[in-house]
Every structure is written in C-alpha cells, then in structure tokens.
Chains A and B, each alone.
Chain A
Amino acid sequence: MIQFKNLERSYKSPAGQFWVLRRINLEIREGEFITVMGPSGAGKSSLLNVLALLDDGWEGEFWFRDQAVHDMKRKQRADLAKKNVGMVFQSYHLLDDLTVKENIDLPLSYKDIPHKRRQSMVADTLDRFQIVAKKDLFPSQLSGGQQQLVGVARAVIHKPALLLADEPTGNLHSSQAKEIMELFRELNQQGTTIVQVTHSEANAAYGSRTIQLRDGWIVSDTANPELQLHQVVKQ
C-alpha cells in the first residue's frame, strides 16, 4: 500500500540542519495495524506528518498504492489525502464551535458530496458509534472519551484506507482507552489499515506490527527482524 524509499526529513535552524527522519525504508501493506514507538524526539510525529501528506518538506521516494507521491504537486497530494487518509489526534482536535454532528460532517463538507447523502452518512456514523443522543452537543459538553469517540467517527466517516492515530488514548482514562482501542481493532478487522503512535505497550498489543524509532532512524521492525540485527551490528 505504502512504500518509503530513503525518505528523509530535516529542518534548517540557526545551529545548522536538524534531521528528524533518516533514510526511512518502509513498506506498509493493506490491512496492517502498525504501532510506531520510540522516545520523544525520535521522529514519530514527523513520520505521521509525512504519512498524512501534511508535510511536503521531505526527500526520497513515497509510493501510495503505486502512485509516486514524490512526483505529485501539493494539490494532488491533498486530494490523495482527502480520499484515503483519516486522522485521530491525542488532543482530539474537534472544532469547539461545531456540534458533534457538524464535526463529523466536516471531512464530507470538503468533498463534492450532495447534502442529502452527507446527512445520511453522518446519521449512519452517529448510529454506528452510538452517539446519536450527543449529536447536537458541543465538544466542551462531552467527556474526553466521548470527544475521542467523535474524533474517530470523524476520521473514518469517509471510509479512509489509512487511519493515522497519534496517541489516541493519551488523554483518556484506562477504561475509555480500552474502548477506543477495541474500536480500532474492529476497524482494522473491517479492512482499514492503521498506523498508531503510542508509548503504551497495552495499546501496542492491539497492533500486528511494531516499529521502533530512535533519532529519526528505524531501529527495529517486528516485520523485518533483519533490520534489527543490522542496526545492532551497526551500533
């Protein structure tokens, strides 16, 4: 589904060039549930930014379903992301001025979908996530777990092929976290490819593959034991 070949990302600073991703070679297959782990500053969020097609400043090759993202213009990348990527954030990132229903409708409003069809999709999603009763409430009127539920509903309403989750349970109580992770598992079983970033071993356990990042390098990948050996030998 996704292939990175020698992908790198750096930022220029007064102190010189600062690398956040180094020579990333990675293949993500359809239906995988990948967990990305690593300490702060390892490059996890940078990797998600690249996967989400939010960041254009990287170098190397990026293939998405055999399409050369590295050759695409910004608008083409945005269109690709709009169709295929959903995102869930640690701090939910719901819009405070919109109701639950309107937040969920937001990704659809940026697609050329007729109003009635959008209404129907939103209704189905509210029903599926069992939040119909909350549809007219504003985010500030919801608990953290409920807000993240809305965040996930918003991320998947347009049925993305790839769901990116950044510490999706970081701000939640453990019981609420479990509910969200069960939801991810269900989505994955229904065919959605998921990449989550987490520090939680419990959450990582829901995934089928774990990648470890350090200082911008992939230092281990459970799907590629040789990589780990290579790194060990290198160190």
Chain B
Amino acid sequence: MNEGSILRMNGLLQDLHYASRQLWRRPALTLVACVTLALAIGANAGVFSVVNALLLRSLPFREPDRLAVLNHFFPPHDSAIAFHDWSQHSGYLADAALFEEADANLGGSYTATRIHLSQTSWNFFSLLGTKLALGRAFAPDEDVDGAGWGPPGRNAVAVIGYGIWQQLFGGDPKVLGTTVRIDGIPLTVVGVAPPEFDYPDHSVLWKPGAFSPGNNGWTTIARLKPDISWNEARAAFAVETEQQSPNAGFDISNPRPTITSLRDALAGSSKNASLAFMGAAGLVLLVAFINLASLSFSRATERASELAIRSALGASHARVIRHLVAEYALICSISAVGGVATAFWIARLATKLVPPPIGIESYSILDLHVLAFVSILSVFVAAALGIVPSLYVQRFSLFDGRTLSRSTRAHPGRQVLVGAQVMLAVVLLSASVGLGRAFTHLMTIDRGYDVKALVTVSVSLEGTTHQINKSQLPYFDEVLGRISRIRGVRSASSTEFLPLYASAFVGGPFGLDGRPASRSSNLIPVFSGYFHTMGARILYGREFTEAEVGSGAKVAVVNDRFASGFGRPQDVIGRQLTSEGDSPWRIVGVVSGMEYETDPTTAGGNQVFVPSSNPGGFFSTFVARVDGRAEDYLPAIRDAIQSADRQVPVFGAKTMEQRLHDTFVGQEFYRTAVSSLGGFALLLALIGVYGTVFQAIVERTREMGIRIALGRTRLQLRAMLLSSALLVVLTGATAGVAGAQLIGHVLESLIDGARPIGLAASVSLIVLSIAIAAATVWSATRRIATLDVISIMRNE
C-alpha cells in the first residue's frame, strides 16, 4: 500500500471514529435511526431472500433455463412407447418426461410411515440432468404399461431420497438391492437421490411409472431443443395443442394448455406474491428513508457551523461530504447487521408458512445475492443520506455568520416529505385492510360445521392386511371404539374426505329421480355420527345409522344446496339419488352447507354423502368432538389409533382449527406481513410528522415569541401548527387512498383473495390518519406552552 493510500485510509478511519463519537453522544437519535433502518432493510432483505430463492437462484438441474412444464397438456400417454415416441419426434423438445405424484405407505422392517412419492417415466432424472448420490437412475425399459401404479414387474425398482437413506438406512451404501414396500408392494432400491433433491413437490421416493389409457394424472416436463428459443417453443406448442384439440373451448374446468419455464412453474403464485411484497417492503424502505433524509437535513443544518469550520481549516468539499457520509455509513452498517438478523427471522417465518417448492430453494440469508443486496442497499442509503443534504448545506462566514453561497437553494420542503410518507403509509395500510378483510371472510365464513373442539387424525390401509383381507370396517369399528372410550371425547366418526381438502375429491353428475342436477356433486363416504361429530346441522331427516354403514345400505344425505336445486329441500327426503351406471340411493337427510371447497370463488358446491363401504383405501380421517381444548386430545387419540395396529400409518394429527389455519396460512401470512409493513410505515410517518412539527417550532421560536408578545395565545399558536400539519396529512392521506385503489387492483391480480378497499374504508383510513396525526402534532406542540418569551426576545 502506498503512502497516499495509507493517508486516505487513516483519514477514513478518523472520520468513522469521529462519526461514532457523534452518534454515541446522541444515543436516542442513533437508536431510533438504526432500528428504523434495520427493520426496513431487514424487511427488504427477508422478502428478497424469497424472491432470490424462487426467481434468481439457479435450480439444481442441468441448464435449468431450458426446462419447461407443459401445463394442462396431455401428450400421448396410453403406453410408454406412445409417450416416448411422441417425445422423440417433437420438433421443439429435446426430451420430455412424465411424473405423477401420490401419497403412499412406506413399510418394511421399520414403522410404517406416510410419504410423498412420484412415479415417473424412465428418463425423469436424465431429463433434469440430476446425478444420483448413489446407484443408478431408471433404465429405458423400466417404465411399463399397466393400471394404477402397475403390477410389480420391471418397474418394481425405486430411487429413494437422501433423507430416507440417512434416516432409515443410516446412509449405508449397501442400501442398493434392498427392498422397501410402498403400499405393500416390494420395490428394489437401485439409487439414492442427491441431498435436498425433492422434486416434484417434496417427493422422497421415485419409481418408474405404469402407463395406462385414461390416466390424466400425469404432469409433463420437457427440455427445449438447444436451437429453439422460448418464443419458438411457445409457437410450436400452440400449433401442437391446436392440432390435438382443434377449436377447443377453454374455461376454468378446461384450461388452455401453456408451456412455461420450470422456474416459473415452481414459483407458482408465490412469484407474484413475493414480487408484490418486494414492492411493499420497498415502500417501507422509502418511508424510512424519507424519515432519515429529514433527519439528515436537520443534522446537516445543525452541523453547518462545524462543516464551515472544517472547510475553513482546509477540508475539501469531498471531505466534507465524507464527514456527512461517515455518520450514515456507521448507522447503515449497524442497521445492515440488524437488518440481516431481521431478514433471517422473516425468512424463517416465510419458510414455515410459505415453504419453497423444492428443498434446495431454501430462503437463505447467507447467500451471495442476498448479502450483496443488503450491502448495496446499505451503501446506497448511506451515500444518499450523506451526499444529498451536503448539496443544501449553505456556506456561511465564520466571521459574521453571513451566507456566502452563490446558490441559496432552499431545503426541499419537509412538509412534502411528510406528505409523501403519509401517502405511502396509507397505501400500505389500505392494502393490509383489503387483505385482512379477505382473510377474515375466509376464516369466519359459515361452512356448515364447527371447527372448534374437533380432532382429526388420518390413516391409510393401502397395502395393509386390513385391505388385503377386506376387513377395513372391523378395523374402523375397533378404532372408533377406542377413540370413544377416551375420557372427554363426546363423539367420533370417520370420513374418506375431510372438508378443506377438496382437491382429491371424487364425484360426478348426480341427480334426483333421474333428473340431473345443474352441477356436479362431490361424493363423500362417511361413517355414522359424522355430521353430529362435525357439528353440522341436519335440516331434514337424519344421518346414517351404524347398521346402514355396516351393511353398506344404499342411503344418502345431501346438502341443502343440492336439495334446493330441485325445489323445497325437505321434499327430497325419501326420494332417489341417481347417478348413471349406479343403482340409486335413498335420500334420508338434508344437511346444511358442509362446505368442502377452500376457494371462495368456487364455494357453495353440491355435496352427496353415502355410507363408507371401503374406508382407508386411499386414506381416511377420524374425527372426534371433545370437551375442552382439542390440542390436548391429539396425543391420546393418535395413540389410541396406533394401538389398534402399529403397521397402519397414522398421520395428519391436527385439530380442525389447525387445518383451517394451515389451509389459509398463505393468506394469513400475506395479511400479517402487509399489516406489519403498513403499521411500521404509519409509525415512521408519525415520527416524521412529529419531527417536522418539532423542528418547525425550533426554527420558528423567534416568530413564536413575537406572536405571543403581540397578543396571540399559546393555544392559538398550537392550533395554527396543528392545522398546517393536518393539511399536509390530509393531502397525503387522500393521495394515499387514491394510490391504494391502484395498488389494490395490482394486489388483486397478484394475491388470491385480495380486494381494493371501498369508499367507507377509505374515508375511515383518512379519518384515522388525521386523528392519530392530530394527537401526535398536539403532543409535539407542547413545547410552545413552555416558551419563555422574555428570554427569546432578549437573545434575539
């Protein structure tokens, strides 16, 4: 290092040393500035960690930007040969693979567990370019033709996840060649996936698929040909889909096929939400920045004399700027550390509530992108806070206090800054109100059952002796008996489909006495006492008896939505529930609501309930109504179920309230996050209002003294300041409400359930802002009440 560099370094360290001393002498101000900025930087870094994971970080696949997902598109898939033949002759795809996800029971020499797995075409791993940690991927002839998961044969092999390998096999390399049982079917382990590979959707086991006509559960992924651009691929895909389904009318039930990048498909709705949050966090940073900018202008004015002395003693303009920047560099450095801690907490929360689509996409703060983002943000804020005010510091004479600057530009109006703060705070608050109302509606909607004091636990009999011996009902009777004997359990029952889990429902075009209903109905097999246990209201008739369930009687309960489609609901009792190809059911009851859908836009569906005759085939869920807190019963009920047969996987032990919360956790996260950002922005804006009024009083002390001396009362002076401040707040809040309408529409398109606020809410927000600001301003003007007029006039 040469002498010049050493001198510069010494100067820099000296500036930082003096800056730290100045900050230390103003601890309250320093603390507020650091906390403000730390929260703002932390919010931005936390949200950026999500954006980074979803949109920026490279996927753990070979050439990930060439990978595509073909949505709502079914290539030829009646047989493995047909699919691979289509793939190899594609004009725009280098390769394509299929996968189908499922939950299944993993058994063996260890306790049975429920896992998420995928059956795939043989080229799944090679298409992604994933190298296994151990063993091999599937061979070309290992995907076969067959129904369902296919008969055991060439495809009776599996690649297991790294986690399973570690947990169940202790990372033993001899795992290759051993057998695992999936729903009772033995599979030979041929490979182990690399660490953190869990695509698709957190799968932990992969097996070669079985192709059968009519199976539309497949998802198609593909790799574009090297010389094909995305636009060319989209055009070629459009031509292919048109050829496949000419003049197809697309709607919600039959969506238009699309080709999207795998990255976008993985990000899904989180992409838009995270970008929306990045914008919201950016607004908060802007509000915080405005506050600190206001502070820095005040500090620059306060330090004008000091800076003039430094200039007189030889400091160049650049050095003067460095003095100003040094203070904010320290504040920003401290804030950046605090910001990283805040971001870490936000990332953890986001991981818990809105987990990344694949394991490798963890919301990591210790990532080069995120750390660079925090650093650049901090440097930018420090530089802006230091440099901009220095442009407005007027040079004045140390000999007589006269201003020497050629340009006497005035400070940018603090009032404009405060107005902008209020506007941004109101925008964020209105967004949080919009999201909050949508969320409250979701949580409080009458679904026709009572979520309180309800315990739910799922089991699957797939591949168990109960299924093989067709003795499911005795098993369920046994379990229900054990649950009912637990002290505090008021009633217990079981269903094959639990409300809020509508995606896997079966159903069809049911009708009454052969007359079809106007819309399809969900078909839900349940046990006796189900409606009573769920707290549902039987409007007419009754629910099933134990005998009806035990004998598989052809009886049904319908919901009032279904029944009212045919006239008066009570009139359907005793009539025939019909479905083409099935013998009819006799309707014995009409139940209110029983909303199974989660999406409010598709809520209000028809539900048809029948006695459960083959429970646990996929999985079934026990429900128990208890006295007191449902959480307290979870261990006992789970143990009771497990004690009936330890080879049956028991999973999903949750209260119904937890399930409701889990279903809408994304919306709740968005609501909470935007509310927090809005509240924080409002707090900052109020600090800004307070600071501006306080500063105005300091600067106008002489004027105040004169006004009081000339007969103005102190109360009148406070009212004068209050009215001028509230005018700024009113202007900012009104502009904020206008901006909120715009942001509301943006949020509506980005986040499910978000709505712009209405007129009444807008007026309420303006009134609220003014009321809070009025209290803040009144508090700030207390100083006027204690002004010593004589001292002021004497000093002047």
Using a CB–CB distance below 8 Å, which chain A residues touch chain B? Answer: 11, 45-46, 48-49, 52, 54-57, 75, 78, 81-82, 87, 89, 93, 95, 97-98, 102, 106-107, 109-115, 154, 166, 197
Contacts and interface: CB of A to CB of B under 8 A. Distances in A.
B3 interface: yes
A57 B406 contact: yes
Nearest to A74: B317
A106 to B, nearest CB: 5
Given A56-B406, A114-B7, A87 B14 contact: no
B784 to A, nearest CB: 28
25 contacts: A45-B400, A49-B397, A49-B400, A52-B312, A52-B399, A54-B311, A54-B397, A54-B398, A54-B404, A55-B397, A56-B404, A56-B406, A78-B314, A78-B316, A89-B399, A93-B398, A95-B306, A97-B25, A106-B313, A109-B14, A110-B310, A110-B313, A115-B10, A166-B398, A197-B399
Given A78-B316, A82-B314, A45 B3 contact: no
Contacts of B406: 56-57
Contacts of B226: none
B7 A54 contact: no
* Contact residues of B: prevailing secondary structure: helix
B27 interface: no
Closest 6 CB pairs of A and B: A110-B314, A45-B400, A82-B314, A45-B399, A107-B313, A166-B399
Contact of B305 (A54, A57, A93): A93
A223 to B, nearest CB: 23
A49 B312 CA distance: 10
A87 B7 contact: no
A93 B397 CA distance: 12
Nearest to A155: B313
A57 B3 CA distance: 36
Given A11-B402, A45-B399, A93-B309, 7 more contacts: A46-B402, A49-B397, A54-B312, A54-B404, A89-B399, A97-B22, A110-B313
**Interface size bucket, B side?**
20 to 34
B781 to A, nearest CB: 29
Contacts of A81: 314
A83 B166 CA distance: 73
A89 B308 CA distance: 12
Contacts of A82: 314
Contacts of A46: 397, 400, 402
Interface string B384-427: 00000000000101111010101000000000000000000000
Contacts of A112: 4, 7
Nearest to A90: B399
**Interface-centre pick from A78, A98, A109, A112 (highest chain B CB count, 10 A):** A109
A151 to B, nearest CB: 10
B10 to A, nearest CB: 5
B397 A110 contact: no
Nearest to A154: B313
Contact of A110 (B22, B25, B315, B398): B315
A154 B397 CA distance: 18
A46 B311 CA distance: 17
Nearest to B19: A97
B18 interface: yes
Contact of B404 (A49, A75, A89, A113): A49
B21 interface: yes
A114 B404 contact: no
B11 interface: yes
Nearest to A86: B313
A53 B508 CA distance: 93
A207 B7 CA distance: 39
A72 B6 CA distance: 30
Interface in B1-56: 3-4, 6-7, 10-11, 14, 18, 21-22, 25
A72 to B, nearest CB: 15
B398 A89 contact: yes
**Interface-centre pick from B7, B315, B399, B400 (highest chain A CB count, 10 A):** B399
B554 interface: no
Contacts of B11: 109
B319 interface: yes
B29 to A, nearest CB: 14
**Interface-centre pick from A93, A111, A113, A166 (highest chain B CB count, 10 A):** A93
Given A78-B314, A97-B25, A98-B18, A48 B7 contact: no
A126 to B, nearest CB: 17
A41 to B, nearest CB: 10
A191 B317 CA distance: 31
A87 B399 CA distance: 10
A22 to B, nearest CB: 17
Contact of A57 (B18, B310, B398, B404): B404
Contacts of A98: 18
Contacts of B309: 93, 95
Contacts of B404: 49, 54-57
Contacts of B4: 112
A59 B306 CA distance: 28
B3 A114 contact: yes
Nearest to B406: A57
B393 to A, nearest CB: 14
Nearest to B11: A109
Nearest to B404: A55
A166 B306 CA distance: 17
